[in-house]
Amino acid sequence: MAAVDLSTHPGHLARRLQQAHYLLWNVMVSEEITSPQFAVLNTLVAEPGLDQRTVGERVGLDRSTMSEVITRLGRRGLLDKVRDPQDGRRFLLRLTEDGVRTHRRLTVRTARMNQVFLAPLSEDEQNLFFELIRRVADAAEELRSPAEPLRQATDRLGGAPAPDVARHGGDPVTS
């Protein structure tokens, strides 16, 4: 069997982009606050008082990851959990003053990092890149609970997924 061209595998390219992003983030933005943690801070700046589940949906994090992120941000004193007065089972999230300051500081740094990250592309290419990657990311959101969407996607392609794909929900070559 011949080797495959990994430059045609979106999972491989996404992993390479993620590695580059992680490196740039740690060097240019923060070694303490992760990109997912920043996404939570950013969401709560835009929409203060959301519950944890809604924030997770907005930023694309699963429940267990969201729980860890909220715990870490809370320990750092960047957000508070307040019991929802309408539903005592839910907690609403609000940034502390330190959380707002941290968000403001990191926002400037993320803008610089994004300039470096996207420097190989012209402005028009950047716009196209974002349009295309958002389209793929939006479609991938349907695969978060893989059973039915995965079945529909493979039906459109005319067959069942490979066993590793069905079992792991990812690209067996690059996952």
- Does the predicted TM-score (pTM) go above 0.75? yes
- Note the helical H segments in the chain: 10-24, 35-46, 52-59, 63-75, 97-117, 123-141, 147-157, 163-168
Residue with tokens 């990092």: 113
Contact by Cβ (8 Å): 86, 75: no
The length of the chain in residues reads 175
Query: Which candidate, 23, 20, 22, places its Cα nearest to that of 35?
Result: 22
More confident residue, 147 or 85: 85
Query: Which candidate, 30, 33, 36, places its Cα nearest to that of 18?
Result: 36
Token pair of 95 as six digits: 């940034």
pLDDT for 173 beyond 60: no
Looking at residue 49, its pLDDT comes to: 96
Read off φ and ψ for residue 92, nearest 5 degrees: -100, 145
Residue with tokens 């307040």: 82
**Domain architecture of the chain: domains with CATH:** 1-119 (1.10.10.10), 121-175 (no CATH)
Token pair of 17 as six digits: 């982009």
pLDDT one-digit tens code per residue, 33-62: 999 999 999 999 999 999 999 999 999 999
Contact by Cβ (8 Å): 167, 161: no
Read off φ and ψ for residue 8, nearest 5 degrees: -105, 10
